[in-house]
Every structure is written in structure tokens, then in C-alpha cells.
Structure 1
Amino acid sequence: MYVKHRVRRLPDNPERIARGIWAGLFTTFTPFYGLHFLVAATIARVMNGNILAALSATFFGNPLTYVPIGVISLQTGHWLLGSQPVAEVDATLADKFLAAGWDLWYNIYAYATGTPVDWTGLKIFYDEVFYPYMIGGIIPGLIVATVGYMLSVPLIRTYQQRRRRKIKAKFEAIKKRAELEPVNSPHAPSGTTPPSRSPKIGRTD
């Protein structure tokens, strides 16, 4: 709710904000976990969209949505590639990501210490998860991002117009109150009269 409120209040035109939202939503359907901010900002930059809106929209991907997003993307990817999806993908997806990360760090350590490296885990991860996920996330990502764009433009425009009307009404009320208040003299306090001058008394010889 807070993210939605902040996106609406961004100082930019509705189309640029909506393009940023498009970039952020599309990014959540990519397998580049840990790099979503960078990917969303890059896409928003290319599309001339609002980068802050793009970063905010990446929060569409969260612990409650990552599993369904991953399942949909993987199943779509295997269908497009004509491969067989891994059984119980929703239960093993997080484990495969963790295993690939562990293999990556192990091989970096192996290079540094001169021990043999083993890319088997990463190869399995790339073939069974990463590549199908990347290919399969394009279609649902385009659909969700486009729907988000189409809904965001009129909503943001309406919100901005209503906010401008409220600000204008507030300033008009302040101006009206200022006009109704009595104008005090800038040289004397209100409710006081300047002291009278004494007449000069001529000298008598």
C-alpha cells in the first residue's frame, strides 16, 4: 500500500511513471534474482520511463508471489522449448537456486585456491531452471506488465488531477482568509494612535 501511494505521488507525467511500472513488473518475471533493481532500472532507462517507479514496481515480486511466478514461467518455458518440466518444480525451485549459488561460490573459491572446479550443479540449474525460466517469463511478463501499464496511466492521471485541485483549493482558501483579515499599518502597532506633536512656544524677550 505504501509503495502504491509513493508511486502515485512521483513528480512525473503519468506515461513515464507507467512505463517505469511496466519495466518493474516485467523484471519480476526474469530469473535474475538479486539483480532485479538493476534490470528494472536499465529497462526503464531504455524505455524513457521513471526509474523510481520501476524500482517500486519490482516489489510485485515478493515471498508470496515468487513461487507462482516461477511455476508459471518455468512451465511456459518448457512448453515453448518442447522440454519436459521438472517434477514438483514449486517445491524444488528455491533449492535449485540455492544449490546454484553454492556451486558458484565454491568454484570462485576453487579458482582462488587452485583446487579443481565443478560446474555440474550450475549446468543442471541452467538447463532445467534458468534458461526455461528466462524464455518462459517473457510471455507472462509482457502480459502482466502491459496490463499494469494500461491500468496505471488513467489511475495516476486521475490521482494527479485530484491532488492538483486540492492544492489549488487550499491556496485559494489561504488567499481568501488573507484578504478578509484587516491590513495593519507597517509602522505602528494595531489599535494605537501616533503621539501628537506639542505646539512650539515662542520666546518672549
Structure 2
Amino acid sequence: MLFRRRKNADFWERVRTLVWPRRSFWRSARYFAKRALRLRATPHAIAAGIAAGAFASFTPFLGFHFVIAAAVAWVIGGNLVASAIGTAVGNPLTFPFIWGATLELGKLILYGRHPSSIGPMDIGHLLWKLEFSKLWEPFIKPMVVGSLPLGIAAGLIFYVLTRWTVAAFQEQRRRRLAERARRRALAQSGAKAMAG
């Protein structure tokens, strides 16, 4: 293989790379932004796809963000590839803040300021035993309810920013290609005049 590692990564190196990339999160974010800008679709489709991915990142259904984003993008006329890129809003750096905000907002919406029925719980034990019914009421249900307004707000913000950026990028690209075609036509007409 042409671009293989000289030394294979061990288990801990793979775990570290999964949590913290070798280069940086900023480089990954720039890559995703450039990838979204270069999609061949309308500014609305790209922006709607990114917004759908951002919305899906706020839901507590961690293994299903791509599926949720694709379904929302399909409903609102977004690009499916852009929806997958938009799910990068939810990452190891943002998930603790997203989950905390959705849980607290969901508790506030469902139970008021200080819910008395929810006390401290051993979440690790419940996750280990997979007692979903005991996790639903105190955690998952408030996170689902809290994720809706926060996800919609994030989706709207990402839609506006992405649509404006993609429209400007595509217009600049159109002008650049038109200028290149004009120069090429001038060069060809000049070559024909010299030959004739």
C-alpha cells in the first residue's frame, strides 16, 4: 500500500485518535467546511442538509444521527451528503455541552425549575444493566424534549450561515470560471489570427 503507516497503531493510539485527532479539530472543521462548499447543489439544498445534521446532533440518539439527519434533510429538501457533514456539529468537544443543555432545558420544560421526583442516580449502573425504562423518565425523555428547541435553533443558525457562505462561494467560483473561459477564448482567437 502506498500511504501505509510504518508502525501500526496499537489499541491505545486508536482510542486517542478517536477522541483527539492527530492534527487538530480546527483542521477537521476546515476540511468539512470546504467539503460542504464544493458540493454540487443549490445553496438551499446544501444549507438545509447542514441544518438537518446540526439538528440531529442535538438529539440524544447517538448511533442514529446520520439516519435522523438524512430523514430531516429529505423532508426539507436538503442535500444528503451535506446532512452527513452537518452531524460533525456533535463531536467529543461539543457533546458534553449539548447533552447538559438539552437535559436542563428538557427538565425545565417538563417539570419546572427544580423537579422533586428526580434524585441522584447511578447512571453507570443503569447503563451497564441496560435498564432503559429507568433511564427514560429522568434522562432520555428530558433530553429529547430539550433537544427539539435547541436543535431547531442551531439548525436555523447553521442554515442562514451556510446558505450565505455557499451562495457567495458559488458566485465567486462562477466568476472565476467565466474569466478563465474568456481568457481561453481570447487566446484561441489570437492564435487563429496569427495562423491566418
- Does the residue aligned with 1:63 lie in a helix, a strand or coil? coil
Q: Indicate which of 184, 192, 196 corresponds to 1:174.
A: 184
The secondary structure found in structure 1 opposite 2:63 is: coil
Aligned residue in 2 for 1:52: 81
1:12 paired to 2:12: no
Separation of aligned partners in 1, 2:32 and 2:156: 19
For 2:171 and 2:34, the matched residues in 1 are separated by: 15
CA–CA distance in structure 2, aligned partners of residues 160 and 37 of structure 1? 26
- Please list the CA deviations of residues 49-93 of structure 1 after superposition, one character each: whole Å capped at 9, or x if unmatched: 111111100001000000000000000011111135666x9xx87
Residue-by-residue CA offset, 1:6-61 (whole Å, 9 max, x unaligned): 11111111111111111111001101101110110011111111111111000010
Confirm or deny that 1:32 pairs with 2:61.
Answer: yes
Equivalent residue for 1:138? 148
- Superposed counterparts of 1:1-205, under 5 Å: 1-82=30-111, 83=115, 95=124, 100=127, 102-104=128-130, 121-182=131-192
Q: Post-superposition shift, 1:184? A: 5.8
State the TM-score, normalized to the length of structure 1: 0.72
CA distance in 1, matches of 2:165, 2:50: 13
Q: How many residues align?
A: 162
Matches of 1:173 and 1:127 in 2, distance apart?
Answer: 66
Q: Percent identity?
A: 29
Distance 1:151 1:48 in 2: 17
Aligned residue identity for 1:75? E
CA distance, structure 1, for counterparts of residue 152 and residue 119 of structure 2:
24
Q: CA RMSD in A?
A: 2.2
Larger Rg: 1
CA distance in 2, matches of 1:171, 1:103: 65
Q: CA deviation at 1:163?
A: 0.5
Runs of 5+ consecutive residues of structure 2 not aligned to the other structure: 1-29
In the alignment, residue 137 of structure 1 is paired with which amino acid?
S
- Comparing 34-43 with 143-152, which one deviates more in the overlay? 143-152
CA distance in 2, matches of 1:145, 1:48: 14
Tell me the amino acid that sits aligned with residue 10 of structure 1: L
Give the unaligned 5+ runs of structure 1: 105-120, 186-205
Residue 51 of structure 2 aligns with an amino acid whose one-letter code is W
